[in-house]
């Protein structure tokens, strides 16, 4: 049974609200700034607790932001008739500079939606626009 347009919108709204409220991601306090069928923009507020030394982000924190942004980009344009269970299949991160003492912004674009695999590109920058990391992301959604 296909979902109505209203039910699709309802599912998108529920997921948008829930994606940053899972136990681990909730600890990071990620905020969704943009969510549309093409992708998403997420902000990670700076906190010394997310760093190696009080100033420079731990790489795992950056990777977690990227993973969350990639999933958000895929779900933001997803047709829920095709499934509701998702998982990251592959994540390749290239760190280009240390993020220090500032919020981080992750811009994620879903570049291809297949039958059950979707692909996203993610760019993380600081609030001055300096690149921190780039990533390629593959996500699977099944019934």
> pLDDT tens string for the chain (143 positions)?
799 999 999 999 999 999 999 999 999 999 999 999 999 999 999 999 999 999 999 999 999 999 999 999 999 999 999 999 999 999 999 999 999 999 999 999 999 999 999 999 999 999 999 999 999 999 999 99
> By the 8 A CB rule, do 55 and 48 touch?
yes
> By the 8 A CB rule, do 110 and 78 touch?
no
The strand ranges marked E within the chain are 31-36, 39-44, 85-95, 104-113, 117-126, 131-142
Phi, psi (5° rounding) for residue 78? -75, 145
Q: CATH for 5-142?
A: 3.10.129.10
Which helix (H) or strand (E) is 8 found in, with range?
helix 5-18
| pTM metric for this prediction | 0.95
């Amino acid at each position: 049974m296909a979902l109505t347009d209203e039910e699709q919108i309802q599912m998108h709204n529920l997921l948008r609200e829930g994606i940053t409220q899972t136990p681990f991601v909730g600890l990071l306090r990620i905020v969704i700034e943009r969510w549309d069928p093409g992708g998403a923009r997420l902000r990670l507020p700076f906190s010394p607790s997310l760093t190696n030394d009080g100033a420079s982000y731990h790489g795992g924190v950056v990777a977690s932001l990227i993973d969350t942004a990639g999933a958000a980009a895929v779900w933001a344009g997803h047709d829920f008739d095709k499934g509701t269970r998702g998982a990251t299949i592959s994540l390749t991160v290239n760190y280009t500079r240390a993020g220090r003492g500032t919020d981080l912004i992750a811009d994620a674009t879903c570049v291809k939606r297949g039958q059950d695999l979707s692909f996203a590109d993610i760019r993380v920058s600081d609030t001055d626009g300096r690149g921190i990391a780039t990533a390629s992301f593959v996500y699977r959604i099944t019934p």
